[in-house]
Structure 1
Amino acid sequence: MYDLLPSLSVIEASSFVASPTAGLYLAQMGAEVIRVDQIGGGPDFRRWPVTEAHDSLYWENLNRAKKSVALDLGRPEGRELLQQLVRATGQFVTNFPASGFLAHDRLAEGYADLVTVRVMGWADGSPALDYTVNNAVGYPMLTGPGPEPVNHVLPAWDLLTGAYAAFALLAAIERRRATGVGGEIRIPLSDVAIGTVANLGGIAEVLAAGGNRPRLGNAVYGLFGRDFTTRDGQRTMIVVVTPRQWANLVAALDLGADIAAVEAARSVSFATDDGMRFTHRDALYPLFERAIAARDHADLAAVLDAGGIVHSPYRTMFDAANDPAMVADNPIFGAAENPSGLVYPAAGAFATLPQQERRAPRPAPRNGQHSEEVLTERLSLSSGDIARLVDAGIVGVG
């Protein structure tokens, strides 16, 4: 946690990954993020992984450092309160539909400086998830050896979209500071995905080639990089990205003469050309397979580290969670009380500001924990007003 955005307050009405991620990143940098949910929790409130008591560890961690207001959004009075909160605060992040009671034009009537950032599935407003968008842009047909598609479990487009949404909100606020004008920014998951494909050269590549690149399994496209197995059975990934790393890798494995023989036979040089090493991987991989298979992993890792060569053994998430360098001794983690009651390391801001003290991570709220506080401060409702709303089931408190 850092105090970079102490004057920024944001209303968030969202679920699942992308939109809550935007709010999380803003909160970690010091913004007041007020999440508004249905009383009892929204559609992601019990999403797995869950505890034995069915508390969502997913929800608990994507909503750290936020405040919670619970309203009955199925009733006109609850929807009106959310609209009033958005207008009174001036900044809104959501993945609710672009039409309906949270349409920007409707919210901005009389509030031209309102900034809305809306995460969407497809640009036409139809729904999409990370896993379906990923299929649409073609990555599962590049992953694995083929011919079957291979999905991955990381919701990459959700996470990129959430980060982009946080950036877009700050950009819109900067524009408003200069012009006095707000507006809506729509960020479809599908556009983030296909735009990223384009930024990485993928669209230009396939159109210029008239087809897809070959599927490479665990090999890295365009570089010397692949998984290898050591003598003691440890599978490890090795990737070379600089001429010095290549020279050090060849020397560490005592492959100089073998590499020179391949270069002479094929009239090529691998010293400075990434693409050449990739193109002739059919001759290079067997040499490295044999050399690495003759070494135990600890010995190999020592010589690779000495040569500044990028490598990492494959391991499980449980292994990573128990690695002191990654978690226990990593300053991004700290202790926080959790609504689930579980005790585990909590992640704070990923960035490190050497000139500022890092604050401890904060817990996620209970559903409706801050309803009274927020409705009093933002809408100037009296305690009697709030009590009547609670009794009527329009406002929930936790």
Structure 2
Amino acid sequence: MKVLEGINVLDFGRFIAGPFCSALLADYGADVIRIDRVGGGEDRFIVPVTEQGEGALFLQVNRNKRSMTLDLDSPEGREIVRKLVANADVVVANMPPRTLRSLGLDYESLRSIKPDIILVASSAFGNNEAVRDRVGFDGVGQALSGAVHIAGTPDQPQKAMVPVVDFATAFSCALGVMLALYERQRSGIGQEVSASLLCTGLNMASGALIEEALLGLDRHAMRNRASGYAPSDIFKARDGWFITQVIGRPMFQRWTQLVGRPDLLDDPRFADDTLRGENGELLSDVMTGWCADKTLAEALDALEQARIPASPVNSPRQVLQDETIKAAEVIRWMDYPGAPKKVPIFATPVSLSRTPPEIRFRPPLTGEHTDEILADIGVDAKAIVDLRARKII
């Protein structure tokens, strides 16, 4: 039996933070119904990769779900939502509070239908009145947190090109759901789970922010070097780039032996991690000289033998060909209608030994399961035909 078998989830989420939260719940056995707009929501078609236009990230964050289409602005659509909520345990909707209220998806409206309902409502900036209805995406969370300022160069800030804040917010929301479900077993009532891109970004940047608050160093961008230890940088071998990170005296000692510079171990400029970070450019220069005449494989093998963390800087193409990633068995290749090849769907990041997660079926087409979901709540075939004719579904 799956951990969340018997838990019913309604997913009104869009883009990443909401949909990936519900995908994680689905991986552990929850029955997740994605509520799509008639014709498909806008997040379905970003970076299209199939004949119908489904986007690359949409496929990853919507596996294991069923889809129904519904006009939420119509009275009939609102009534169907009420029936679905009456049978649900969790509602996921990453929208500003004002939007939730207008759609009848705010917590007060939902619990009037089902007192033990759990609402998962992540937003850009949180629930305080001054900021709660502002909109934002992943990059806004990154930039506000200070992370973009200390990346790149002093002349050109650089955000991460993958949506790290969105995905981390989704993980937080999934944890919140599990906590709320656990508490509901004792209290018998539900509650609202809140998260924000802003708070996620601040947590991720907290080391730099606490350092600034206490020491006032006003850090600036250092490209790929770390500020608090070294050598930590991206280096070029003869045939490719790799990253390595040396932290702590024992590892630094092994590194000095590896690069043939044991004299650096007792150099006062490199006496601890903080000093090594401050003088990291010098250590990066040593490392650059060491690997300049080596192949990528030679450099990585030597670092592995010295027990120093390192990896190639893979392109997306190289990721899909990487032998380490293949050996880890973390990709599920799935057929999808209209896709030119099998789609790589990436495994649930956390597993359980006895009740593991499972990617059971592909992401849904728009409204693929509308008829069966309506039948489940007692709508007969004739009524379904009528709803479709009037574009309610």
Q: For the residues of structure 2 that align with 1:183 and 1:283, how far apart are their CA atoms? A: 54
Map of 2:129 onto structure 1: none
1:256 aligns with 2:266: no
Q: For the residues of structure 1 that align with 2:336 and 2:50, how far apart are their CA atoms? A: 12
1:75 to partner: Cα distance = 1.6
Map of 2:349 onto structure 1: 350
Contact 2:8 2:87 in 1 (8 A): no
Map of 1:138 onto structure 2: 146
Map of 2:335 onto structure 1: 337
Map of 2:210 onto structure 1: 204
SS in 2 for 1:246: helix
1:306 to partner: Cα distance = 1.0
Q: Deviations over 1:190-249 (max 9, x none)?
A: 22222443xx3333221223352132111022111112223x253222211243322222
Alignment: residue pair count: 382
Seen in structure 2, the aligned counterparts of structure 1 residues 60 and 284 have a Cα distance that, compared at 3 Å, is closer
Contact 2:149 2:220 in 1 (8 A): no
SS in 1 for 2:200: helix
Q: Deviations over 1:117-165 (max 9, x none)?
A: 1111122121111112222222211101212222221111110111111
Seen in structure 2, the aligned counterparts of structure 1 residues 306 and 196 have a Cα distance that, compared at 3 Å, is closer
1:27 to partner: Cα distance = 0.9
Map of 1:32 onto structure 2: 31
The answer for unaligned runs of 5 or more in structure 1 is none
Q: For the residues of structure 1 that align with 2:353 and 2:115, how far apart are their CA atoms? A: 39
Q: For the residues of structure 2 that align with 1:41 and 1:53, how far apart are their CA atoms? A: 11
Structure 2 residue identity aligned to 1:59: F
SS in 1 for 2:324: coil
SS in 1 for 2:245: strand
Map of 1:393 onto structure 2: 391
1:35 to partner: Cα distance = 0.7
Map of 1:217 onto structure 2: 223
Q: For the residues of structure 1 that align with 2:247 and 2:372, how far apart are their CA atoms? A: 54
Q: For the residues of structure 2 that align with 1:391 and 1:160, how far apart are their CA atoms? A: 41
Report matched runs for 1:3-22 at 5 Å. Answer: 3-22=2-21
Q: For the residues of structure 2 that align with 1:81 and 1:307, how far apart are their CA atoms? A: 62
Map of 2:112 onto structure 1: 109
SS in 2 for 1:69: strand
What percentage of aligned pairs have identical amino acids? 23
Contact 2:255 2:306 in 1 (8 A): yes
Seen in structure 2, the aligned counterparts of structure 1 residues 317 and 371 have a Cα distance that, compared at 3 Å, is same
Report matched runs for 1:31-70 at 5 Å. Answer: 31-51=30-50, 53-70=52-69
Map of 2:297 onto structure 1: 298
Q: When the two structures are superposed, what TM-score results if normalisation uses the length of structure 2? A: 0.89
Q: For the residues of structure 1 that align with 2:145 and 2:368, how far apart are their CA atoms? A: 40
Q: For the residues of structure 2 that align with 1:334 and 1:150, how far apart are their CA atoms? A: 31
Seen in structure 2, the aligned counterparts of structure 1 residues 299 and 348 have a Cα distance that, compared at 3 Å, is closer
- CA RMSD of the aligned region, Å? 2.3
Q: For the residues of structure 2 that align with 1:159 and 1:212, how far apart are their CA atoms? A: 28
Report matched runs for 1:82-161 at 5 Å. Answer: 82-98=81-97, 99-100=101-102, 101-123=104-126, 124-161=132-169
Contact 1:347 1:361 in 2 (8 A): no
Q: For the residues of structure 2 that align with 1:51 and 1:176, how far apart are their CA atoms? A: 41
Q: Deviations over 1:250-281 (max 9, x none)?
A: 11221113x25x71xx4x664xx322322333
The answer for unaligned runs of 5 or more in structure 2 is 127-131
Contact 2:116 2:190 in 1 (8 A): yes
1:226 aligns with 2:233: yes
